[in-house]
Structure 1
Amino acid sequence: MPPETNFSSLLDYDSVEAYLQQLFFLSKSQLKKSELSKKFLQKAVHRKDQLQIPLDLANNLEINPKYLGKKIEIIFKDDQVAIFNKPYNLHSHPLNYTGQDNCLSFFRKGGRNLGVNLNINKLNYGRGLLYRLDYGTSGVMFYINDEGLLHNLRENFSKLVKKKSYLAIVSGEVRGDGAIESYFKYIGSKDSKAELLSKNNYLGGDFPLGKLEYVVRNYNSSEKVSLLEVSLITGLRHQIRAQLASIGHPILGDTLYGGKEAARIFLHAYKYEVEIGEKKYVGKSLDAELFSRFFDLDCGL
């Protein structure tokens, strides 16, 4: 059962639903998805009534100061931007208050000296993150400390984010560099998996087009895996994972898309370049945990 906390009402309310909406700024949709029953939500609330409320609702949109995860490397920070290296198997941001395995809880626990202002964009759990990485993906992330700048960068993402490069270890020998273009359709529970439609088989519909390019950096003949540097032209959910699988070279560890089981999903955000005014911020990290089992990243990149 989710953790709860006790509240005493200071006023009368027509229902628990009205009480929670007014006190915690919760939407009807959030309450509907919660563990609270319809009968409980419709119950009248009287002054001095004691209510047990799930902690996730009582602390809606707050970041938990408890952190469960590895230490996060800060690559660079100034007043506008913090650039850091996300470990694999860690969420970019929480989905609720009780979530502790995420980057923002690390920054909440560490305090403002880490260079991250969690007091912006407070109606969104993503706060100042410019983009997110999948749970299993490691690598460079940008946190923007000014709300106006954050919205401008997000609105002009394709124009101002100049480079999005990833390293991927894939099954088999990839023979030659290449590019992939395909339309994306999301399927499964909560659209959890991407299904690709080739440009030749596209019959119309509201499906986004994903584009990427890749360069072969190395091949490990004993393990039969290739190291690719992937440049994202667009940026769709699961784009690299699904498109590399579509050419017969799934990412090692990415079982959702047919990859062999491994200690992690071997996908790492290696380099991002972001233009802010007259300044170009470059975030780069070759600290991709466990990649060294297969390749020396200090050679040839």
Structure 2
Amino acid sequence: MQTLIIAEDSSNKRIDKVLKEKYPNMPQNFMYKAFRKKDVKVNGIRVKEDYIANLGDKVEVYIIDEILEGKSISEPTDYFKAFTVIYEDKNLLIVNKKQGIPVHPDKDQAENTLIDLVTAYIREKEVTSKTSGFSPALCHRLDRNTGGLIIIAKNNEALKVMLEKIKNKEVKKYYQCLVRGKMEKPQGILKAYLEKDERKSRVYINDYKTRNSLEIITKYKTLSIIDNITADDSASLLEVELVTGRTHQIRAHMSYIGHPIVGDGKYGDNTLNRTLKAKYQALWAYKLKFEFSKGGGILNYLNGKEFKVMPDFSNILPIRNI
């Protein structure tokens, strides 16, 4: 922890700018995380990054000296090694998340998550309001090892509207995935029931309803067939639309019908995965469509828009050119 007194050349500036000037080697994602954790105090009171410093203010920064000085810490992940920006305006951000990046802190990773890096990126550009104090928020989630499109709200009203639209299925989400074998039908609608086991962090699929299960509906169509993915197997590249959006739904549902996703270590075929040296599951959230039926409030300008990216399945060695 360090303490500083605001001098005349730092007064009337935002406190985050003061800290940037005082500690130029400190990674910014650490600084903004300190604000979120309320680890910056002025005159004994916790403040947000938009606080305007006054002459004589006593600032206490509860960050270890090594981080403040940029010493003895691993380099922060470069933003664009974790995500690329697909769309951005004053209300929201749509990014294409790389595989292997968790969207928020979990038991395996507390730093350099997607929301940490996106927050640092937005703060650095000073896109958000200087007075709202709103921290960028995820509108939905993706598994760590699933790549693809994520919507992040920059203000409370945008978050409220987007959560409502997602809940009402007015934001259509489409995925591409590579599954083992050839589908029995080129397209179809799959229905089953999913039960979640929190302790094991996995789900189970059945054709019948149980007390704790929820119905799942998964639409798919075959985009292409890859013959001889190994000496014994072919594979199918599918477009999948989630009608219901349950935990691990696509991965578990495809496995249940005998066509597990290539590279999926939890629900997939590990013999096939080892043969292909697949590092991540071949699953990508590749398209979003905004179809607002009753207007979209401050986001109404998005109605009818579509955003799409190309999936990156390059970690699956034999099929780099899909």
TM-score when scaled to structure 2?
Answer: 0.63
Residue 54 of structure 1, CA deviation: 11
Residue 113 of structure 1, CA deviation: 5.3
The residue type equivalent to 2:312 in the other structure is A
Contact 2:115 2:137 in 1 (8 A): no
Aligned to 1:283: 307
Aligned to 1:50: none
Q: 1:256 is paired with a residue of what secondary structure?
A: coil
Mapping 1:87-98, distance limit 5 Å: 87-95=98-106
Residue 73 of structure 1, CA deviation: 0.9
Aligned residues: 232
Deviation string 1:83-124 (CA, Å, 9 cap, x unpaired) is 11000010112248x7224112222443435687597665xx
Structure 2 unaligned spans of 5+: 3-36, 39-61, 65-74, 293-298
Deviates more, 1:280-289 or 1:167-176: 280-289
Q: 2:189 is paired with a residue of what secondary structure?
A: strand
Contact 2:219 2:243 in 1 (8 A): yes
Output the CA distance in 1 between the equivalents of 2:269 and 2:224.
19
Residue 159 of structure 1, CA deviation: 2.6
Contact 1:85 1:140 in 2 (8 A): yes
The change in CA–CA distance for 1:117 and 1:267 in structure 2 (over 3 A counts) is farther
Aligned to 1:129: 138
Deviates more, 1:69-78 or 1:209-218: 69-78
- Alignment of 1:232 with 2:255, yes or no, is no
Aligned to 2:89: 78
The change in CA–CA distance for 1:113 and 1:282 in structure 2 (over 3 A counts) is farther
Contact 2:134 2:154 in 1 (8 A): no
TM-score when scaled to structure 1?
Answer: 0.67
- Alignment of 1:245 with 2:270, yes or no, is no
Deviation string 1:108-143 (CA, Å, 9 cap, x unpaired) is 443435687597665xxxx42110100000001111
Aligned to 2:188: 178
The change in CA–CA distance for 1:172 and 1:101 in structure 2 (over 3 A counts) is farther
Mapping 1:179-258, distance limit 5 Å: 179-187=189-197, 189=199, 191-198=200-207, 201-203=208-210, 205-223=211-229, 224-258=234-268
Structure 1 unaligned spans of 5+: 7-23, 26-52, 56-64
